[in-house]
Amino acid sequence: MHIQTYDQLSEQVALKLIATVNEKPNACLALPTGKTPLGTYQTLTRHFRQDPALDWSKTRCFALDEYLEIKESDSFQTFLLEHLYQKSNIAIENTFSPAQVVNYDEVIEQMGGLDLTLLGIGRNGHIAFNEPETCPVSFTHCTWLEKSTLDANRSDFTGKQPDKAITVGIETIMRSRRIILIASGSSKRDIVKQAFSGEVTSRIPASFLQRHPNLQVLTDFGFSLDTTNSWQQSSSL
């Protein structure tokens, strides 16, 4: 289906997540926060309400990142609790945050590795909080946030906005068996084009995903990429 709207994008992604868990109930999912996945989580919530057979009780959910020195109410863990975990039958003991788990990568590996990583993209090309110039062989680490990231997220805070975070690394993401990156709205058009139609460069961390053999990029502005289908690309950029 050709995606034209944010609702269609959200529905498509929610269905892919549901299919992943139907196939493997104890799948390990890495999940983003932010404005882009909100529609996906709302769509999932609707599916959970409408389909009592939907069972994610064994599914393991790993937050991609978390702010450091954050008020709990402003944290990504609270975001995921409010928008997904509490709206589903995901077991809280199966949810993980890099701010609460020592050796996040080791824990992910012990649980069999990530089956699916869902990503947004920052206007500077970051994935999770891997800001430009992050080493591509990075694992979970702490990082300072760039000004463009702080500017984009300023309105999310009731208290002081943190400028430090902990994030899975680029290598953590690349080790995921499957990756879906979603982007919505014209403000993401240029960076998506640079990341997936240009050179692979640490200036644009998302560009490293071009090297992943099972990547889908889905947007509501006419760009899509699927490296599983030999690089089929349709673009109106």
Instruction: Please report, as ranges, the residues that interact with ligand PGA according to CB under 6 A.
Output: 34-36, 120-122
Name the residue number minimizing CB distance to ligand PGA: 34
Closest CB 217 distance from ligand PGA, rounded Å: 13
Has 2 been annotated as catalytic? no
Of residues 94, 115, 126, 146, which has the active-site annotation?
Answer: 126
Residue 1 CA to residue 68 CA, distance in Å, equals: 40
Has 190 been annotated as catalytic? no
Give the residue with the Cβ less far from ligand PGA, 122 or 169: 122
Give the residue with the Cβ less far from ligand PGA, 28 or 118: 118
Of residues 105, 115, 131, 146, which has the active-site annotation?
Answer: 131
Has 126 been annotated as catalytic? yes
Has 7 been annotated as catalytic? no
Closest CB 118 distance from ligand PGA, rounded Å: 11
Q: How many CB atoms are closer than 10 A to CB 51?
A: 10
Residue 192 CA to residue 200 CA, distance in Å, equals: 12
| CA 41 to each of CA 28, 82, 87, 203: distance values in angstroms, whole numbers, following the listed order | 17, 10, 9, 30
Closest CB 182 distance from ligand PGA, rounded Å: 8
Give the residue with the Cβ less far from ligand PGA, 14 or 121: 121
Which residues are part of the catalytic machinery? 65, 124, 126, 131
